[in-house]
Amino acid sequence: MSTGEKNWKCAKCDKQLVLKNTDFFYLGHKFTYDVLNCPQCGKVLIPKELAEGRMAELEEALEDK
């Protein structure tokens, strides 16, 4: 099933999501990345591809230290 990122809207604000530079933290490390969020309420959306792809790799790399 496609979960194409662009098709997601914030259900609360009825706004199209936009990319925003967002802070991420793990095991004492901090980094930023552009992810979708609601321009009005600020809710962040992490798609499955990102969570199980790049984020999982990064988790692994940081845990491997």
Binding site for another protein (CB under 8 A): 1-3, 7-13, 17, 22-29, 35, 37, 40-46, 48, 51-52, 55-56, 58-59, 62-65
Min separation Cβ 32 and another protein, Å: 9
Residue (of 5, 59, 1, 3) closest to 37 by Cα position: 5
Choice between 19 and 37, CB closer to another protein: 37
Smallest gap from residue 19 Cβ to another protein (A): 14
**Contact call for residues 12 and 38 (beta carbons, < 8 A):** yes
- With 0-12 / 13-18 / 19 or more C-beta atoms within 10 angstroms meaning exposed / middle / buried, residue 50 is middle
